[in-house]
Amino acid sequence: MWRWLWRALLALLVLVLGVSGVMGWRYAQYAPADPAVAPDPSALAYFHPDYAGARADFLTQGAQLAARWRDVERFAVPVASNGFGQDLFVDAVYVPAQRSPRRLLILSSGVHGVEGGTGSAVQRMFMRELMNDETVADTGILLLHALNPWGFAQSRRFTARNVDLNRNASTSASLYRTVNAGYPMVDPLINPPAPVNLNDWQHKLFLWRSVGMIAAHGMPVLRQAVLQGQYQYPRGIYFGGQALEPQLADLAPRLKTLLNAYPMSMSIDLHTGYGARGRLHVFLNPPGEERVRQGLETVFGEYPIDWGSGADFYTVTGDVTSWIGSLRSNGLHLPAVFEYGTLDSQSTLGAIKSLQITVLENQGFQNGWATPGDEEAVKQAYREMFYPSSPAWRTQVIQSSRTLLRQLLRRLPEAQPPG
């Protein structure tokens, strides 16, 4: 009897060690496959290595649009560089509807700075390939480039004050008093107070500490606690700030004027890092109004929308695309987010890997690094997560954006309420 029990326990132990060994190995090797697409040099040409190159190209494209159509406005909002030796701007190009102002389409990039390289590439593809006399006849186009230029230039998601702009945007100061009740529970895991050392136990056990928390609380609860946004931990990740960040405050009056010159508007905010690698996810906070839902369904048609019913979904507070809509006095606004997936973050391993890279980068920024090698490894992984260097990935981003934005321009008039 005892011998039998002993054997069963031993077998169980071997099984547990085996499964966790395989999981640990898969986690260490984790790298989702690229989309199966042949790299296209003309698509790759839209991607620049840094903020300065992307900005210069955006300004050149803007000048070409200004030469082509009437009353094009170009303006720039300076952003403090905080000791970083470079001029930083949010740049904007506005092409008004040339025949009648029926609707306004806003395309914004770099709300999360490090994601700006991709957003900027998609914007310039749009300017170059999809804008023509027909597109701009009844549709005004506003391009907002690098809403967080400091993060773009520094390859950080957050602003110089560690603010996540996509948790910061609101017309009401009550946002900054929001309490994320789940955040204190995850704080010890996601905001370690020591310098980054890739050899220490906290780092090596991150997978198992995360798995333990998932077992105890469930993935949806944890995902929501981490990603929703928080306003009490200024050095933590997903900090939404204590007031509207200056560049958004500066932009607000201009946005208001432009939005209210049209009976309808749509804003698309361009992001990377969430979802299946190489896939363009249309990602939305669930709309309160039925006509917004209908409008978005008309525009996107059969293209799948992540509405918030899926198990991997979370809601955020203070997102930029909803804030833009809230600057309208009346009429219809359709807010949307494009997310280009990089690490299969909807899978459990992908979610933990994405979180760990985000945690390490912020930990190093806040507390420093044990060695230059640690700093280099973490910054490299962070950049790859938000701005993959893979030619296949980049080509896929341009191709799927071209197809979907072309469809969107065609269908936007059908989503317009009569009158």
The least CB distance from residue 114 to Zn ion, in Å, is 9
User: Considering beta carbons, is residue 140 or 273 the nearer one to Zn ion?
Assistant: 273
Q: Judge contact between 361 and 377, C-beta under 8 A.
A: no
How many Å apart are CA 119 and CA 126, to the nearest integer? Answer: 11
To the nearest 10 degrees (0 to 180), the angle between helices 206-217 and 219-227 is 110
User: Considering beta carbons, is residue 112 or 203 the nearer one to Zn ion?
Assistant: 112
Q: Which stretch binds Zn ion (CB under 5 A): 195-203, 232-240, 264-272, 324-332?
A: 264-272
Q: Judge contact between 90 and 57, C-beta under 8 A.
A: no
156 sits near Zn ion (criterion: CB under 5 A): no
Beta pairing partners, 88:
79
Q: Which stretch binds Zn ion (CB under 5 A): 85-93, 102-110, 112-120, 377-385?
A: 112-120
The least CB distance from residue 345 to Zn ion, in Å, is 11
User: Considering beta carbons, is residue 91 or 115 the nearer one to Zn ion?
Assistant: 115
The least CB distance from residue 415 to Zn ion, in Å, is 25
333 sits near Zn ion (criterion: CB under 5 A): no
How many Å apart are CA 237 and CA 21, to the nearest integer? Answer: 30
Token pair, residue 16, equals: 């547990």
Binding track over 271-290 against Zn ion, x by CB under 5 A: x-------------------
Closest CA to 339 of 147, 166, 169, 144: 166
The least CB distance from residue 41 to Zn ion, in Å, is 27
User: Considering beta carbons, is residue 65 or 163 the nearer one to Zn ion?
Assistant: 163
112 sits near Zn ion (criterion: CB under 5 A): yes
Paired sense of beta strands 139-145 and 88-95, if any: antiparallel
Q: What share of the chain is helix, strand, coil (3-state, %, to 5)?
A: 50, 15, 35
The least CB distance from residue 235 to Zn ion, in Å, is 20
Closest CA to 111 of 217, 240, 298: 240
Token pair, residue 305, equals: 């929308």
Token pair, residue 264, equals: 């309808």
Q: Judge contact between 99 and 137, C-beta under 8 A.
A: yes
Helix/strand/coil for 131: coil
Nearest residue by C-beta to Zn ion? 271
User: Considering beta carbons, is residue 271 or 281 the nearer one to Zn ion?
Assistant: 271
Q: Which stretch binds Zn ion (CB under 5 A): 50-58, 190-198, 268-276, 282-290?
A: 268-276
The least CB distance from residue 223 to Zn ion, in Å, is 15
User: Considering beta carbons, is residue 167 or 203 the nearer one to Zn ion?
Assistant: 167
The least CB distance from residue 164 to Zn ion, in Å, is 9
The least CB distance from residue 274 to Zn ion, in Å, is 7
Sheet of 88-95, strand order: 73-79, 88-95, 139-145, 103-108, 264-272, 332-340, 280-283, 305-306
Compute how many residues bind Zn ion; rule: CB under 5 A: 3
How many Å apart are CA 377 and CA 383, to the nearest integer? Answer: 10
Binding track over 386-415 against Zn ion, x by CB under 5 A: ------------------------------
User: Considering beta carbons, is residue 271 or 333 the nearer one to Zn ion?
Assistant: 271
Q: Which stretch binds Zn ion (CB under 5 A): 72-80, 108-116, 133-141, 178-186?
A: 108-116
Look at the block and give the residue holding tokens 């690490």: 343
Return residues touching Zn ion (CB under 5 A): 112, 115, 271
